[in-house]
Amino acid sequence: MADALTAHAFADFAAPMTSEKTFQLAGRPAKYTVLYFYPKDNTPGCTTESIAFRDLHDQFVAAGAEVYGISRDSLKSHENFKSKLGLPFELISDPDEAVCTQFDVMKMKNMYGKKVRGVERSTFLVDAEGRLVKEWRGVKVPNHAEEVLEFVKNLA
């Protein structure tokens, strides 16, 4: 099963991100790229998750991984969220859901008894060639960033 996962390579894509930069999957300089998809800036779970990745950021970098958050929020919203939380990594804006669709994170969810379409909290670890190393879907926020970090450290 692991071979089937690692054999999957994502198509290259470019998307706007904070700090007036553009994210490009191909040619990432780091050994690994962590892409965490989250529903919405400034919501409790997404804030907690982003803070956890922020607090472990130096350890991710030391383990050879770059971290990026992705949601459908606008760049303006991302810039405010990044600044408010002091995030040391960039946030990717995907308002047209192109990246979310490629990673298959758009799902029907229940919100206050109503069916709504939204981002399923998910994290993907991709190697320098754009191949999937590991995915976490339906993520629960507590201890998630730590789990991802442990996995990355064990690859070294």
| Residue 126 CB neighbour total at 10 angstroms | 24
Q: Are 103 and 125 in contact (CB under 8 A)?
A: no
- 19-50 per-residue burial string, b: 16 or more CB within 10 A, e: under 16: eeeebebeebebebbbbbbbbebeeeebbebb
46 is catalytic: yes
C-alpha neighbours within 13 Å on the C-beta side of residue 114: 4
Catalytic residue chosen out of the listed positions 17, 35, 46, 87: 46
**Which residues are known catalytic residues?**
46
